[in-house]
Amino acid sequence: MRIWTWLKVLIIGLLLFVTGLYAVFMSDWFQRKYVYPFLYQEAIYTYALQYDLDPFLIAGVIRTESKFITEARSPKGALGLMQIMPDTGRWIAEQREQKNFMIADLADPDMNIRFGTWYLASLKKEFSGNEVLYLAAYNGGRGNVRQWMERYGWSKDFDDIKQIPFKETREYVERVLNSKKRYQELYGR
């Protein structure tokens, strides 16, 4: 009989411990500090305002692309917080008429956020403000998204993420939009 009493106490204790852990994990404090950090807010808000983008969307892109790790480098060679490819960085510098641009500049958080936000804004304009399409273009390439629009008859009102043919891009768009929503909940007050 004594073993059953200890077993009950152990189970109740374990349940209380797990419940406490869950409560801490789901708390806004923990989520802000460890799951959805919002670093570089000044740069994000500055460039979001400058390029007419939602700062929480930019935070969602950065979280999805690099988890706010400034030295992040993808296997394909994308660099920095917003994971900009070197060729794209050069193209952005040309479009912005920025002299003396070097690929190493993409490691600078401010420069990376400025370039990435500018690029997102150019995609937003190209895809008539359709968030799903311009996020898909940011990840999968604007040419691919244009082909999908033509091939599948997508209009500028397209919003069915499940129809995106590249699994990586489909999951990317979902992650960014979920992160954007969570950033709004945590920091938008």
Q: What residues are labeled active site?
A: 65
79 neighbors 105 (Cβ within 8 angstroms): no
Reduce the DSSP state of residue 24 to 3 states and report it.
helix
Name residue 73's beta-bridge partners: 79
Name residue 84's beta-bridge partners: 79
Sequence-separated (6 or more) residues with CB below 8 Å from residue 23: none
Rounded to a whole number, what is the largest CA-CA distance in the chain?
A: 81
Tell me which residue has tokens 């189970």.
11
Tell me which residue has tokens 């994971």.
83
Helix axis angle, 55-66 to 41-50, nearest 10°: 120
Closest CA to 171 of 123, 124, 131, 139: 139
Pairwise CA distance, residues 187 & 55, whole Å: 10
